[in-house]
Every structure is written in C-alpha cells, then in structure tokens.
Amino acid sequence: MFVGHLAVALAAKRAVPKAPLGWLMAAATALDLVWPLFLLAGIEHVRMRAGATAFTPLVFDSYPWSHGLVMAVLWGILLAALGRWRGFSPRICLWLVGLVVSHWVLDFLTHAPDMPLWPGRSPRLGLDLWNSIPGTFALEGAMWGVGIALYLCGRRATRWIGPLAFWSFVAISTVMWATGPWSPPPPNQQFLAWFALIGWIVLPWTAIADHYYAPVP
C-alpha cells in the first residue's frame, strides 16, 4: 500500500489538528522510511520477480526489523518519545504510535503472506489484496479520496504556496501509485533501496503544505 498510508496521515490531521502533518506522515510511513536503510545495510532482503503479485513484482524475503508487528510498536514508541521531547501532548504521541502500527495493518491487507510478527522465526501473514489490481485500486483509491477530503474539510489556504505544495504532492503521489503495476521493475535491491529513500521528501513537502493551511474560523 502506498497512498493508503498517506491517506491515513491526512485523515489523522482532522482528529489531532494541532499535530504537524509532517509528523503524522512520518508516523504513517515510518516502516517504509526505515526499510531502505535496512536494505542498504544488507540486514533485510527483497527480490524482483515478474508476476509475484498482480500489483507489484516485489518479493519481500526478509524485513522483520522494519515491518514486523512488534517492531512497528517499538518504532511507534520511539517516534512518540521524540514527539514528547519536542513538546507534543500525550494525545498526539498516542496518535503517532497508532499511525505507525496502522502501517502494518494496512500492509497486512494488501501483501502476500509475508508480513512478520517479530524478528526471528515468526508466522508471516497477509490477505493478498495485491493479487487483484481492481480491488487494490478500489480500496486504496477510496482511502486516498477520503483522506484528502477530510484534510481539506474546514481548512483554507493562507498563501498560494499551500495549495501548490499540497496538490503537487497529491498529483505526483497519485501518478506514482496508479502507474505502479505497469512500471518496469527495479533492476536490483540496491537500486530499489536508493530509490525508496525518496520517500523521505514527503515529510518536508507535506510540512510546508500544512504550514500554509489553517482551520476556517
């Protein structure tokens, strides 16, 4: 899942309006942010195989440290501790933990049975929605639309840079997601890892957009 994770962060802004959107995005995408670092270090492994699923050719051989359920909870606690150090309220910090764990839950819906519970000898789970391109587009697309609507509802731009940053983010994310099943697979794990690091740009990008939106009085 890709835009589904982003949608959850956008929707969360409605529930905790004082939380910076960049932090909510960091929480919702945290597992994918640390994953390429583990790939580059050779700690986790992924292969490319045409037809692995209908939606993606990636075969996730090992990623318990970035995507295990237990580790998701620990990553969430770590992010919440950083947020608390920055002065966020306990409520916001609880939301950060929940958003990190939500990443595992959403990946469980879409992935083949490859989602670990913990590092080591763990069951690997997944409902395999990625084997249905229409099903994936329907579920994730609905989440994306609802997330965008919830974020914008009751908010207005304070300067032109807000809509420019927000809608460019939405447009590029949508194109990357919608073309994914027909894009050429990455040539190897290293290339994929370096490319995946682009995901970190989402944090300042959405933070800038959010800075120039304000609740309607």
pLDDT digits (tens, 9 = 90+) for 80-95: 999 999 999 999 999 9
Domain count, the chain: 1
Domain housing 50: 3-215
Which class for 165: exposed (0-12), middle (13-18), buried (19 or more C-beta within 10 A)?
buried
Of 134, 76, 131, 130, residue with least CA distance to 102 = 76
pLDDT number for residue 12:
98
pLDDT number for residue 27:
98
pLDDT at 135 over 90: yes
Question: What type of residue is 179?
Answer: T
